[in-house]
Every structure is written in C-alpha cells, then in structure tokens.
A = this chain, B = another copy of it.
Amino acid sequence: MAITSHVLLTSHPASIFKQAAPLNWGESTPILRGPVVASLTKREHRNSIGTHSGSYTVYRALANASGALTMDHKPDLTNTSPFTNIGPFPSWGDPEKIVSLDPWGAQVADVFKSFYEKGYDIRPTIAITTAHINMPEINQAIDSGRLHIDNKIITKNKDVVVTKAAIDPVWYLPGIAKRFHVSEGDLRRVLFDQTGGMFPELITRKDLKILLPPIGSTSVYMFGNVEHISDLSKKLTVRIHDECNGSDVFGSDICTCRPYLTHGIEESIRTAQEGGSGVIVYFRKEGRALGEVTKFLVYNARKRQEGGDSAATYFHRTECVAGVQDMRFQQLMPDVLHWLGIKRIDNLVSMSDMKYNAIIESGIEVIRRVSIPDELIPQDAQVEMEAKKAAGYYTEGKTKDATELKKVKGRNLNE
C-alpha cells in the first residue's frame, strides 16, 4: 500500500489551488456554472469540501486503507450515462431554487467534456437507469382490478416499468444558509463544531462554497413518460417519502409508512396509465432524520410512559429524547422537484403540512392532497395518525381535541 507520510490538513486558497475549477452556482449553462470537483486524485482541481458517495465515503476509505482500492483509481464511466435525459430546466439556472444537489450531476461526462480533456476527475453525483419492479401490494391492486396490465407500464408478469434516479447530496453552502435563515459563517461553524469536527475546511476555506456531506442519497422513481413530468398539459402524481426501514422493509405496524408508500406508487401508476406521470421521491431520513437508535428509544419511552402510548403525548416523547420533534428539514426537499422541472402537482400523496408548505413556498402549485385511505392504517398506527392530524396534517375528516387524543392508545411493550 502506498500511503504517503505527508498529511494535508488544510490549505490556503492562494497557495496551491490556482487550478481549481471555477464554480458559479446557479449560472444558466454548465460551462458558466463549472463542474463540482470533489474527487481526491488531483487535489489541486478540487473546488468542494468533502468527497463523493455520501456516507459511503467511509467505506471507500477502508477499501483504500486495506489496499483493495488504489488511491488514484478513476472510474471508467463508459456506458454509464443516463438512460434518459432530464432537463435542463430554468430552475437549474436559479441559484436559490436548487441548493442541495447538482442539477448537472447526471450529465457530467457530457457537459464537462472539455474539463475531462484537461485531466479533471469529475464524478457523477446523479445516476439514471430503468428497472422493472414487482411489489406484492401492486400485484394485489392488479388482481382486484384497481390497476390493469397495459403491456407498457405494467407488463404481463405484473412488473411495473420505471425510470429511476439516485442523487448524492451536493450542498451550496450560501444557499443552504439562506434556507435556514442563518449566516453562511454561522452555518459553517456549527456544521463543523456539532459534527465533532468534521471537515476543518468548513472554517479554513471559505472560498469553497460546496460541501458534499456524508449523508444518504435520495432515490426517485418515475412512472410513465419522463417528459410528461414537467409538461403542464399532463397530470402529475407525487409522493415525498422519508425512509422508515422498520415499515418500508419489515412492515412494522406502528406507523403508516409502507402502506402510504405503496398507495403513492399505485396512484402514480394510475396517473401514468391515464397519460400523465407519477414520481416517488425517497429520502434517506430514517426516523425523522434522528436515526434508528433514537427512534427505538422513543418507542420505548412512548410505550412505557404513565398511561401508556397515547396520541396526546406522541410528539412530546420524541422531544424529550431528541430535543426536537423532527429533523427532516423539508426546506431542502423541494430541490429534487425543481431538478425534475415540476411546476404543478395534481395529486400530492402526503398529509404532511411541513412537506406541503415547503413545496408551495418553493413556487410549485399543489392541486389536491391525497390522504392515506383509512383501511390502510395499521391498528397500532392510530396513535401517530391522530397525533399528526391534530398537529396540522391534512385531512378531509375532523381532528381530535385534547381529551379525545388521550383516548387514542397504542399497545404497550409486552403485548
């Protein structure tokens, strides 16, 4: 293993970084904007803090340390380009519409050709492919006649044809700061300080405006013709879904996550089959971005509290443990919708007021909000559902008052 003894802790912009690619966030063309360079093979070209693959950067470093991967490996991007082009849209050239992903991230091999020729190691931060998916709940929708085989979106095997994208986070720090109403300097200091000292360049390199944080990626599943997504003459169904491994994968009955997700997929397919399109955005924000350890601690506190698990104290228990009710920060969420060129959502399959407000405040019109059908709510999830409705979640029905909320009870730990 070739590990040099020289460690580059931080460095001064004036000294060795004259070859760094210029970057002007929100410029209208890729060349004016400039490429995000966060690879480590030629450090003099870097114009970003952090590096690629979100939290998987740690595993890649292990691969380097163990000798399995050479430090100077450059990806061979042959045949990896997007299955279908998305954009560009006017929102890509607006420095405030998109601040948490690189809209050009899927097309780097194409639009930054001139940089590759000069030896820049630019990595895609978005990948777009196609897939066939097969889900028991969608099979059931077909069997019961709610969806039909059209040999286009649903094949004769009941597979659903999708286009899908994976998006790594790319944060434009001045834009992130603005979304959270703090100064860029304060944002940088707290990000460094409260992560236990991650990335001193946040402090020492204020000229670097881009951070690739070590967090999860975002997945986008698209149903129907991708070009219809931004076409205002076509209907569009969207669900914004935040990861909940316990329900999404394992079918836990304490929340509505998977049933609401599969309902969103069913509605998306329906809109696509009717000539529009559907989009599911899946964010890796486990347990309201508190992580699963905190989530399980909260479950225990809810189930064991005096009087048992109750809708009346649902949010309070999270706040005791985590200090906040929620860390998902929907302020950044609409970026992916603007990447897709969305201007109007006909059916928003979500009851969250936080998601709804973030979407409309970002300039996207929402025509209709789609609640989860009552019959899809698992027994033990009534506590969550009634607490959320009382706190402002969208519902066509009535919300319960404080006395009624106390009566909505969940199982205790031993049941």
Seen from chain A, the residues whose Cβ lies within 8 Å of a Cβ on chain B are 1, 3, 7-10, 38, 40, 49-71, 73, 75-83, 124-138, 140, 157, 159, 162, 164-168, 180-182, 186-187, 189-201, 203, 212-217, 219, 221, 245-246, 248-254, 258, 261, 282, 285-286, 289-301, 303-305, 320-324, 327-329, 378-380, 411, 413-414
* A246 CB → nearest B CB, Å: 7
CB neighbours of A134 from chain B (8 A) = 251, 253, 378
Question: A10, A68, A190: which has the most chain B beta carbons within 10 Å?
Answer: A190
CB neighbours of A320 from chain B (8 A) = 75-76, 78
Inter-subunit contact B216/A180 (CB<8 Å): no
3 tightest Cβ-Cβ pairs between the two chains A and B = A136-B136, A127-B296, A73-B323
Inter-subunit contact A286/B56 (CB<8 Å): yes
**Within the complex, which residue of B162, B212, B296 is in contact with A129, where a contact is CB–CB below 8 Å?**
B296
CB neighbours of A69 from chain B (8 A) = 323-324, 327
CB neighbours of A8 from chain B (8 A) = 193, 197
**Within the complex, which residue of B65, B251, B296 is in contact with A164, where a contact is CB–CB below 8 Å?**
B296
- Evaluate whether A55 and B200 lie within 8 angstroms (CB atoms) in the complex, with A63-B324, A282-B245 already known: no
Closest chain B residue, CB of each to CB of A55: B55
* A49 CB → nearest B CB, Å: 7
Closest chain B residue, CB of each to CB of A180: B66
Count this chain's copies in the assembly.
2
CB neighbours of A290 from chain B (8 A) = 53, 56, 59-60
Q: A54-B55, A166-B296, A249-B249 are in contact. List 17 more A-B contacts (CB 8 A).
A: A8-B193, A8-B197, A40-B194, A52-B293, A53-B290, A56-B289, A56-B290, A57-B196, A59-B290, A62-B329, A69-B323, A73-B323, A124-B297, A129-B296, A157-B379, A214-B214, A214-B215
Closest chain B residue, CB of each to CB of A331: B66
Inter-subunit contact B62/A327 (CB<8 Å): yes
Inter-subunit contact B128/A195 (CB<8 Å): no
Inter-subunit contact A289/B194 (CB<8 Å): no
Inter-subunit contact B291/A65 (CB<8 Å): no
* A355 CB → nearest B CB, Å: 16
CB neighbours of A60 from chain B (8 A) = 194, 290, 327
- Evaluate whether A55 and B193 lie within 8 angstroms (CB atoms) in the complex, with A80-B300, A128-B296, A166-B293 already known: no
* A73 CB → nearest B CB, Å: 4
CB neighbours of A38 from chain B (8 A) = 196
Closest chain B residue, CB of each to CB of A249: B248
Question: A1, A54, A196: which has the most chain B beta carbons within 10 Å?
Answer: A196
* A55 CB → nearest B CB, Å: 4
Inter-subunit contact A189/B7 (CB<8 Å): yes
Closest chain B residue, CB of each to CB of A325: B68
A80 to B212 alpha-carbon distance, docked (Å): 34
A203 to B5 alpha-carbon distance, docked (Å): 11
A186 to B5 alpha-carbon distance, docked (Å): 9
A79 to B412 alpha-carbon distance, docked (Å): 12
* A29 CB → nearest B CB, Å: 23
A108 to B413 alpha-carbon distance, docked (Å): 20
Inter-subunit contact A190/B3 (CB<8 Å): yes
- Evaluate whether A217 and B292 lie within 8 angstroms (CB atoms) in the complex, with A131-B253, A182-B66, A297-B127 already known: yes
